[in-house]
Amino acid sequence: MPIRRCSRVACNTPAVATLAYHYGNQVAELGALEDEHEPGHYDLCPAHATQLSVPAGWRVVCNAPIATLPTALTSGALATLATEVRNIGLRDEPSVPRPMQDNSSIIELRRIGHLRVIADVSRAS
């Protein structure tokens, strides 16, 4: 699953919480990051989740205490992920490059499970 970023403008921090507004009840619901992005829901980083403000008269319902929301990926977790992707690219088993999309210069070189090694052939020199 790709890392989703905070929905706030100019914030590039990984999201850890999802915010949903229920207009009829004047409720803002904050919970753990949903598995998939839903239209009308907002993904928030730890800083924006803890500094949440809502319109006057609204209330915030928090389905998970902010302290228990997962933190962003640590540098160790990112290093582990990078190592796994690198190992896929270094395997000696034969693979047939295939286009990622029709009429695209992006090709998939290798795939193991959900991890892929891709290349942009238009940038090849």
Confidence band of 20 (pLDDT split at 50, 70, 90): very high
Instruction: Report the run of H or E that residue 60 belongs to, with start and end.
Output: strand 59-62
* Separation of CA 112 from chain center: 20
* Pairing status of strand 98-99 against strand 106-112: antiparallel
How confident is the prediction for the chain on average, in pLDDT?
76
Residue 64's alpha-carbon distances to 14, 44, 80, in angstroms, are 18, 14, 28
DSSP 16-48: -EEEEEEGGGTEEEEEEPPSS--TTEEEE-HHH
**How many other CB atoms are there within 10 angstroms of residue 118's CB atom?**
13
This prediction's pTM: 0.51
pLDDT for 7 equals 92
Render pLDDT for 30-73 as a digit per residue (tens, 0 to 9): 988 888 888 889 999 888 888 888 888 898 888 765 545 555 55
- Asked if residue 25 has pLDDT above 60, the reply is yes
Closest to 46 measured CA to CA, from 77, 61, 68 = 68
Between CA 34 and CA 44 the distance in angstroms is 11
Q: What integer pLDDT is reported at residue 115 of this predicted model? A: 64
What CA–CA distance (Å, rounded) separates 62 from 54? 13
Domain chopping of the chain, boundaries: 17-68, 81-123
